[in-house]
Amino acid sequence: MAGSGLTLAAPLIKVNRDITAARNAERYARSLIEASPDPLLAINPAGRITDVNQATVRAVGVPREQVIGTDYAGYFTAPDRARDAYRRALADGVLADCPLAIRRPDGEVRDVLVNASLYRDAAGTVLGLVATGHDITDRRRAEQERAIRAVELERANAALARSNAELEQFAYAASHDLSEPLRAISRPLALLARRYHGRLDEQADEFIGFAVDGCQRMQNLIDGLLAFSRVGRPEDDTVPTDADVTLHAVLGALGPTLDDAHAIVTVDPLPVVMAEPTQLAQVFQNLISNAVKFTATSTCAASRWSP
């Protein structure tokens, strides 16, 4: 009897070990399935679902026990396309990045890329497919939004190009139209200044000088109108510009404003810089005008500029 007991114990131990190993393998396989952040499911040759992970349950919105045994194609918005993809995967042994869409019970549609490959038993017999579905809904929406923004940006650029062209045409026309009446004023004033300088009283000479200087500044502004409309274009060339001369011309133009504000502008010697003269004059004018407007004191200082 003792000998018989020992004879039966060895097979029982082996069976227990086999059961334990099988259970460990099953737990290991389950942990691998659940480790996937994407929906993962096993599908038998008949197209029925035999296993899913929790990510699949969350994706389709159906409990696991209700998913097992159902037709996998029924969860897609295009079941025929899903079945065709399954047949191709069985024939080719693999399916890569097949675009499909899942419809959840609440009606929400999620875009997915499906990948699949065959799985076999130890003897090599095909048991079905293991498939995953990577949700690309947010990525696709972002791509669509980027495409829409790209179209909008292209339209805005086209509108800006048209606006710039219209502005350039306007600048040409305005420069021509404004120059003619200005010359009609400036020429007689220049003649008066040359012919009658010193023949009238000192105040008259001063007034005529103001008028001639104002006409010259106006002509400079008109000449700069076209250049200003081309700001940022490659053909806009900078030239050596005497910043000191430019600043003093601006101060002359701002004379009445400075007098009204009782402002005193002190200027250090300024260098010759590479600039577009009209734009540099505009910078000086804006700086001094803002200083007069926003300072509480009556003195504005323009410090030395470096080239």
Reported residue count of the chain is: 307
Dihedral angle sign, alpha carbons of residues 220, 225, 228, 233:
negative
Tokens 């003897």 identify what position? 123
- Computed over every residue of the chain, the mean pLDDT equals 80
State the pLDDT at residue 30.
Answer: 65
- Contact of 254 with 286, CB cutoff 8 Å: no
Distances, alpha carbon 75 to alpha carbons 28, 39, 47, 59, 297, in Å = 28, 12, 12, 10, 77
Residue with tokens 């737990």: 27
Cβ contact 10:31 at 8 Å: no
Give every strand in the sheet of 126-135, ordered side by side: 49-52, 40-43, 126-135, 109-120, 94-103
Domains of the chain: 15-135 (3.30.450.20), 173-302 (3.30.565)
| Residue 53, number of CB atoms within 10 A of its CB | 22
| Nearest-angstrom CA–CA distance, 164 and 170 | 10
DSSP annotation of 48? B
- Give the tens place of pLDDT for each residue, 232-251: 554 556 788 899 888 888 88
Amino acid at 184: A
CB half-sphere exposure, 134, CA atoms < 13 A: 10
> What is the per-residue pLDDT for 15?
55
What digits encode the pLDDT tens for the residues 86-129? 999 989 999 999 999 988 888 889 999 999 999 888 888 888 99
What's this model's pTM, rounded to 2 decimal places?
0.46
For the stretch 164-213, pLDDT in tens is 777 777 776 777 677 768 777 888 888 888 888 888 888 888 888 888 88
The answer to whether 58 and 133 are in contact (CB under 8 A) is: no
**3-class secondary-structure state, position 36:** coil
Tell me which of 46-55, 219-228, 274-283 is least confident. Answer: 219-228
Q: What are φ and ψ of residue 238, in 5° steps?
A: -85, 155
